[in-house]
Chains A and B, each alone.
Chain A
């Protein structure tokens, strides 16, 4: 896995990329995530929560693009390490430190 972005500059949300950016998503996207989850709790029908789901997806993709612009190499290294070690945080501590130093969350 070479990069977290494909050729046209769009972020590829694979599991390793999402897990690598999970802490950022968790802190920055709290509002949208909580709104979507609350909508889901009230009515599990997917058709009712499509709009909030779209907000969540747009926000996360925008966030991934942001992260890639700000700390390109660190994010690619971290996502690559996650891909190699199948999303095991404990085996990627070094890349995690350098990524969080380059792109602090909030």
Chain B
């Protein structure tokens, strides 16, 4: 009964004359659909792309080189300053070391005074050069 109410057409003789209710295309049909490939061959050529890439890369590396020069100059300044004050600091350390070394030699002489043939402060190496003492601790008063 409901179908006949909805799909009613004036002057129907029987329900077999009811108009069809379907989902169909709009009148005149749909617009045509493009399904063919269309990839255009326009734009920059391969050589153009390559040259642009190479150019951008070269410019970037040039800027990197410029930055490296600046950074190297900054580091050089720091190293030159360290080289300039190295002698003062080494001289101060030498004074302190000589004082401590004399104390150490006096202690060694006191300990080994009864050992025959012991040369106080004798180097344990045969090379003849002076080597800093390898006692394991550089500044025992600090550590």
Q: Could you tell me which A residues sit within 8 Å of B by CB distance?
A: 13, 18-19, 22-23, 25-26, 29, 32-33, 36-37, 40, 43-47, 49-50, 52-54, 56-57, 60, 87, 89-90
Contact = CB atoms under 8 A, between A and B. Distances in A.
B35 interface: no
Most interface-central of B78, B90, B97, B98 (chain A CB within 10 A) = B90
Nearest to B130: A45
B107 interface: no
Contact of B77 (A52, A56, A89): A89
B84 interface: yes
Given A22-B84, A25-B88, A46 B98 contact: yes
Contacts of A53: 87, 90-92, 94-95
B81 interface: yes
Overall SS of chain A's interface: helix
Nearest to A27: B84
B87 A44 contact: no
Contacts, number: 75
Given A46-B98, A49-B94, A22 B81 contact: yes
Interface residues of B, number: 25
Contacts of B87: 29, 32-33, 36-37, 53, 56
B90 A26 contact: no
Contact of B94 (A25, A46, A89, A90): A46
